[in-house]
Structure 1
Amino acid sequence: MLLELAIGDAYGAGFEYANEMGAYNDLSKYLQHPRHRLIPGSYTDDTQMSIAIAEVIVAQLPWTPEVLADSFVRAFKRDPREGYASRFYDFLVEIQDGEEFLDRIRPDSDKSGAAMRAAPIGIYPTPEKVIEATTIQAAITHNTPDGINAAVAAALMSHYFIYRLGPKRKLGQFLEGYVSGDWSQPWEGKVKSKGWMSVSAAITAVMRNDSMSQLLQDCIAFTGDVDTVAAIALAAGSCSEEISQDIPDHLITGLENGSYGRDYLIQLDKQLMDMI
């Protein structure tokens, strides 16, 4: 799950809000974004914050805002990287721990930050537990109805496939049974910054593609905030029996592999899945 999430994130980072890059969406390599400094093959905040969530889960720490915020700060401080929104990046540089994070954050966003990091929460055994845990983590930064609903839908996507709750063609219906939103409505066109937009596009792509390579290309073809769409979609798609796991080898080996790169993600994935 986390490995695929990171590949979607890193591949999508070369295309984020860069319509002129669309012709290069052939999965041949990670691309340099025309305006960002991120090194091709590097993941962004989507993956780093998902790692922070996964580490709390596998360590079985108390699921509290204080513990989760501390994990967000720790993950950033040990491995600062490009990809965060500039003001949030500066915020993380300035603060020292989770307590200060909670004291200073304005948790009123309805953008995609809480949804992009929610996939690992799908490992919990029931939809009710997933909803409870996701709501707590989302409210830390995105304590708005749309921000929370988008995160819950993203977490329930991976849960649906991990626990084989139905065919992927019924994913939207399943989500509508638990969280407010028109999740069965196919997404069309550019994906802007709102969380529900990224999740809707990811759901559409998952439901209409039968391989991970097709899924990744389809996510990028929406244009807009495509690294987040791809991260959410590939995390869920990696857990589906109906989607062939055919991510090109060069995208796997080309993913960054520092202290918290490819090998670390594979290890953390195994720890997550061992909890089922």
Structure 2
Amino acid sequence: MLVELAIGDAYGAGFEYAPTEFLLANNTARGYVQHPTHLGVRPGAYTDDTQMTIAVAELLVFGEPWTAQRLAENFVRAFHRDPREGYASGFHRLLGEVSDGAELLRRIRPDSDKSGAAMRSGPIGLLPELAEVLRHAEVQARVTHDTPAGVASAQAAALAVHYCHFDLGPVAEIGAWITRHVPGDWSVPWRGKVGSKGAMSVRAALTALAANTGLTELLRACVAFTGDVDTVATIALAAASRSAQYAHDLPSELVHGLEDGDYGRNYLAQLDKQLLP
């Protein structure tokens, strides 16, 4: 799961808010592309979506207390050991300034309804009990996105993975099922450009999930929305990678082209094995 969502993030990063003509010419899924203006993110490198997901996954694997303090500590640790681009500028600066989770919690203003809490929720969906998925997603969301919309989008993203992992029904009906458990119109198809709000990214991801049957076509569909497409692809591939109804057909160019430093492809694969024994 982590490898696939990182591929979605890294591939989508080449197209995030890029001009439509650039997207139409390059959204082939045959390899990573250099973003026309975000030159600090090289092709095949993942962004904050994956880095923060790693922090969540590590806390699940290590069995540490699921508290705002521990989550904040993991977010700070993941950033400082492997600083990278992709974060919102203010949050990037704050992570660079704080030394631990306690300081992050003291200084942050967690009043956002953007997509930061949703993009990192995927691993939570592997928990076996629906109530625990909702609780864990809420706790982690409130660290940075303590708003009704921020929490709901994080819960919906986690439930997308839960639905697919436990094969709870046809993927085409995933939005309707989530709507029964999380406030929001998750079954209404998304149309057009995806903005920065968490609900936008999740609804776009659910729309693409319901309409496709293979990871490659799903990835291209996520990017085709335009806008914040790396987050859409991260959320969608996290869920689809756990579905037996999906063809796991990502091109080798994307798999082997994903960054493989200390916390790259091999680290993600090992963490996946611990998440999915």
The offset of 1:26, in angstroms, is: 0.3
Which residue number in structure 2 is paired with residue 21 of structure 1?
A: 22
Spell out, residue by residue over 1:121-155, the C-alpha distance to the aligned partner (whole angstroms, 9 max, x if none).
00111111000000000001000011100000000
Equivalent of 1:231, from 212, 229, 234? 234
Which residue number in structure 1 is paired with residue 175 of structure 2?
A: 172
Equivalent of 2:145, from 142, 146, 158? 142
Identity %: 59
Equivalent residue letter for 2:12: G
Which residue number in structure 2 is paired with residue 6 of structure 1?
A: 6
The reply to whether residue 151 of structure 1 matches residue 169 of structure 2 is no
Which residue number in structure 2 is paired with residue 32 of structure 1?
A: 34
The offset of 1:87, in angstroms, is: 1.1
- The answer for unaligned runs of 5 or more in structure 1 is none
The offset of 1:45, in angstroms, is: 0.1
Question: Please, what is the CA RMSD of the aligned residues?
Answer: 0.6
Q: Partner of 1:140: helix, strand, or coil?
A: helix
Spell out, residue by residue over 1:27-60, the C-alpha distance to the aligned partner (whole angstroms, 9 max, x if none).
1211111111211100000000000000000000
The reply to whether residue 209 of structure 1 matches residue 208 of structure 2 is no
Find the aligned partners of 1:15 and 1:170 in 2 and give their Cα distance: 28
Q: How does 1:124-143 map to 2 (within 5 A)?
A: 124-143=127-146
Equivalent residue letter for 1:190: K
The offset of 1:170, in angstroms, is: 1.4
Spell out, residue by residue over 1:159-200, the C-alpha distance to the aligned partner (whole angstroms, 9 max, x if none).
111111111121111101100111111111000000000000
Find the aligned partners of 2:246 and 2:129 in 1 and give their Cα distance: 23
Find the aligned partners of 1:31 and 1:173 in 2 and give their Cα distance: 35
Equivalent residue letter for 2:34: Q
Structure 1 residues 109-118 or 22-31, which shifts more? Answer: 22-31
The reply to whether residue 50 of structure 1 matches residue 50 of structure 2 is no
Spell out, residue by residue over 1:83-119, the C-alpha distance to the aligned partner (whole angstroms, 9 max, x if none).
1111111111100000000000000000000000000
Find the aligned partners of 1:106 and 1:15 in 2 and give their Cα distance: 29
The count of aligned residue pairs is 274
- The answer for unaligned runs of 5 or more in structure 2 is none
Q: Partner of 2:144: helix, strand, or coil?
A: coil
Find the aligned partners of 1:163 and 1:97 in 2 and give their Cα distance: 36
The reply to whether residue 122 of structure 1 matches residue 130 of structure 2 is no
Which residue number in structure 2 is paired with residue 260 of structure 1?
A: 263
Find the aligned partners of 1:124 and 1:92 in 2 and give their Cα distance: 28
Equivalent residue letter for 1:148: V
Q: Partner of 1:193: helix, strand, or coil?
A: coil
Structure 1 residues 145-154 or 168-177, which shifts more? Answer: 168-177
The reply to whether residue 240 of structure 1 matches residue 243 of structure 2 is yes
Q: TM-score, normalised by structure 1?
A: 0.98
Q: Partner of 1:31: helix, strand, or coil?
A: coil
Find the aligned partners of 1:193 and 1:253 in 2 and give their Cα distance: 29
